[in-house]
Amino acid sequence: MLIKSLVSVFLAAILTENYVLCKFLGICPFLGVSKKLNTAVGMSVAVTFVMVLATAVTFPIYTYLLVPNDLAYLQTIVFILIIAGLVQLVEIVLKKYIPSLYQSLGVYLPLITTNCAILGVTMLVLQKVETTTAFTYTFGHALVNSLGAGIGFLVAMVMFAGVRSRIESADIPKSLQGLPITLIAASLVALSFLGFSGFVDKLIPLA
Amino acid sequence: MAEKKSLFAEFSKGIIKENPVLCLMLGTCPTLAVTTSASNAIGMGVAATAVLVCSNAVISLLRKVIPDKVRIPAYITIIATFVTIVQMVVKAFAPAINDSLGIFLPLIVVNCIILGRAEMYASKNPVLPSIFDGLGMGVGFTAALLCMGIIRELLGSGTVFGLQILPVQILIFILPPGGFFVFGMLIAIANKLNTKAGKKVIESPCSGCPMSKTCKSFACEKTEEVSENTDKEVVANVN
């Protein structure tokens, strides 16, 4: 049951609840950094890493520090400061101990503090704790959800980088060049993800 | 008199000339996510405007006190404070809007319009112009959201502000793909009008991003370079 629910949470985060294409979180990097495949992958890996780390820190702080002290209304301000501090910390640690990884991921880190997908995932997993009825939503589920959200981001970015490389060589009306055609392409990619709705519930029936 | 005029100019520039959504490409996430109906769009716009005006005022007051090195964390803390206040007010007086905006209400804190105005305007200008700048940008943001909201609600559920107008419903317009599509078309129209008026057209969503200073030498520049190169190639091919 536990494994089943973990798999279901993971697949749902990637396919049916894709953060970029179904929830509109992290649109800026999705449109801005998806032009080249290697930058798209680098950004997504950095986002995934920070997402999991941020959830691992904010989830216990919220449940064991803020809620028992009646401070749940401070969620927004506490979470954004934790994420900002965490990103700085990761940057410093990577720079000092793993310079090769810093070379490839470090450049994306300053951008991640103000990425709404990170703050969004840390808040949404806490909402899920209250709204999920089919099984008890634990810390493990929250981590798996964040990992899935990050991988969903990666999938969307990689798919979209491929689509954009095809657009580059197309003949597009002048007013639609640049951003408009990118958004219309994103619309079609999002349309394909609508096909997954109900997929995970059918595949892994819970309850 | 002259001051009054310039204050009005600060206010009005955000509505059309420097519209944050359609001309500066800021705040894309809420623009796409909450515009499934016109009333949601207004709710989001008013909440963001309130935060924008208050944070612009406070940041402008503190602009000489905040050290340059820690300015971004300081701005984020100030913005997060006002977001928390707005969140509590909305929860208390408009619970229906709180439910429909959901996660996007606290996410105003990472909305790049607010950080962008703090970084580009409020940190360099006195209090009164900063307030008017915030007000203008907020109204521009609300207007763009309302525009999206009316189009999507009309096509997607046949209503405007809940009033039945069209007999048909094209459901796809209130689903995520419709959001991307309507936004793409609106930007295309704005681009068309801008080129007619002889103004610059936005190329990349990074151009207005408040973090562009920090990332200019990194991720964004790489993609910018690519775009420049391909543009040159396209020109060469056309020639």
Tell me whether residues A179 and B25 touch, CB distance under 8 A: yes
- Shortest Cα–Cα distance, A10 to chain B (Å): 20
Query: What range defines the domain where residue B100 resides?
Result: 2-157+171-196
> In this model, does residue B224 exceed pLDDT 60?
no
Tell me whether residues A111 and B230 touch, CB distance under 8 A: no
B151 found inside a domain: yes
Q: Would strands B163-164 and B159-160 be described as parallel, antiparallel, or unpaired? A: antiparallel
Question: Shortest CB distance from B81 goes to which of A77, A115, A180?
Answer: A77
B165 found inside a domain: no
Q: Are residues B175 and B228 in the same domain?
A: no
For the segment A21-57, what is each residue's pLDDT rounded down to a tens digit?
888 888 888 888 888 888 888 888 888 999 999 999 9
- Shortest Cα–Cα distance, B165 to chain A (Å): 26
Q: How does residue B222 score in pLDDT terms, banded at 50, 70 and 90?
A: very low
Q: Are residues B34 and B83 in the same domain?
A: yes
Please state, rounded to an integer, the average pLDDT across all residues of chain B: 81
Q: Which of A118-127, A163-172, B112-121, B223-232 has the lowest mean pLDDT?
A: B223-232
What is the rounded distance in angstroms from the CA atom of residue B166 to the CA atom of residue B150?
Answer: 12
Q: How does residue B209 score in pLDDT terms, banded at 50, 70 and 90?
A: low
Residues of chain A in contact with residue B109, where contact means CB-CB under 8 angstroms, are 76-77, 80, 119
Residues of chain A in contact with residue B226, where contact means CB-CB under 8 angstroms, are 35-36
- Asked if A134 contacts A207 with a C-beta cutoff of 8 angstroms, the reply is yes
Residue B164 β-bridge partners:
B159
ipTM value greater than 0.85: yes
Mean of the pLDDT values across residues B209-219? 54
Q: How many domains does chain B have?
A: 2
Q: Are residues B233 and B180 in the same domain?
A: no
> In this model, does residue A190 exceed pLDDT 50?
yes
- Shortest Cα–Cα distance, A203 to chain B (Å): 23
The 10 Å CB-count burial string (b at 16+, else e) for A108-132 is bbbbbbbbbbbbbbbbbbbeebeee
B145 found inside a domain: yes
B163 found inside a domain: no
Query: Which of B44, B110, B114, B173 is the mutation pick for testing A, counting most A CBs within 10 A?
Result: B110
Tell me whether residues B218 and A187 touch, CB distance under 8 A: no
Q: Are residues B239 and B141 in the same domain?
A: no
pLDDT for res B88: 93
pLDDT for res B213: 58
Tell me whether residues A120 and B183 touch, CB distance under 8 A: no
Q: Are residues B33 and B121 in the same domain?
A: yes
* Domain ranges for chain A: 2-203
> In this model, does residue B236 exceed pLDDT 50?
no
Question: Shortest CB distance from A35 goes to which of B25, B84, B223?
Answer: B223
Q: Are residues B148 and B214 in the same domain?
A: no
Tell me whether residues A111 and B181 touch, CB distance under 8 A: no
Q: What angle do CA B231, A25, A133 make, to 5 degrees?
A: 155
Q: Are residues B112 and B212 in the same domain?
A: no
Q: Are residues B28 and B114 in the same domain?
A: yes
